[in-house]
Amino acid sequence: MEIFIFLWFIISIVALIWVYSDASGKKGTNIGCLWTLVVFALGPIGLIAYLIVRNSD
């Protein structure tokens, strides 16, 4: 069970870093921060929302 929590934590950190760098590169730092907060607050749902919006641009 501890390994699952550790892996979830690592995957979350990697996803946050990726969302920030991807959104900042496309639209600027402010949008990168906003999307990072959305993904942090909503978790997988926020990541799915980002992927949908990212592909629509």
Query: So where are the chain's domains?
Result: 2-56
pLDDT of residue 26: 86
pLDDT of residue 12: 94
Per-residue model confidence as pLDDT tens digits over 1-57 = 899 999 999 999 999 999 999 999 888 888 899 999 999 999 999 999 999 998 876
> Is residue 28 helix, strand or coil?
coil
pLDDT of residue 41: 95
Q: Which two tokens stand for residue 30?
A: 């402010």
Reference 41, options 16, 4, 8; nearest CA is 16
pTM, to two decimals? 0.85
Per-residue model confidence as pLDDT tens digits over 30-44 = 889 999 999 999 999
